[in-house]
Amino acid sequence: MAAMSEFDRVVTDLLAPHDLRYTAGRRALVSALRAADRPVTLPELLEMSVDLPQSSAYRNLSLLEDAGVVRRLVHGADHAHYELAETLTEHHHHLICNECGLVQDVTLEPRLERTLDSSFAELAADVDFVPTGHIIDIYGLCADCR
Ligand SMILES: [Zn+2]
Ligand SMILES: [Zn+2]
């Protein structure tokens, strides 16, 4: 096997505690998600030259999700969308089209993230809760659906 990249090493380390090997099929799924410029559905993943039967791709995505490699986004669209977990990418938010279900990634200014986090910490303190993160999705209409 060729020398492992830092990225592959991190994925391997996430899989190990779950007794999962970084098989060719799982590599294909992870590389396709890495190459995608937005969260994708299973049918889209299979179109992206992931040479796996749908059932096997689905099962492996589910295992990758359990291991914290993949994040599954459910927004009430026909199909769930998949992306790499934030531990492998970066913290971001989603713009979701109400009409066609398209999901796009957006990153907020670090200053705005800090403002959000301190606001959340303040309101959580009122109920003796310590926040460790947030998920904020923005709904609307994409350019094609307007
Ligand atoms: Zn749309
Ligand atoms: Zn954020």
Q: Which ligand is nearest to the CA of 140?
A: 1
86 CA to middle of ligand 1, Å?
24
The stretch 32-55 carries a mean pLDDT of 91
| Residue 142: per-residue pLDDT | 96
CATH class of 91-146: alpha beta
Q: Which fold has domain 1-89?
A: Arc Repressor Mutant, subunit A (1.10.10)
| Residue 79: per-residue pLDDT | 86
Instruction: Note the pLDDT tens digit of each residue in 46-57.
Output: 998 778 899 999
| Residue 1: per-residue pLDDT | 52
Q: Where in the chain is the domain with CATH 1.10.10.10?
A: 1-89
> Does the pLDDT of residue 77 top 80, yes or no?
no
| Residue 76: per-residue pLDDT | 74
| Residue 61: per-residue pLDDT | 96
Beta strands in 1-146 (DSSP E): 40-41, 70-73, 81-84, 93-97, 103-106, 137-140
What residues does 5 pair with on adjacent strands?
Answer: none
Q: Which ligand is nearest to the CA of 103?
A: 1
Q: Provide the residue type at 72 as one letter.
A: R
> Phi, psi (5° rounding) for residue 50?
-85, 105
Q: Where in the chain is the domain with CATH 3.30.1490.190?
A: 91-146
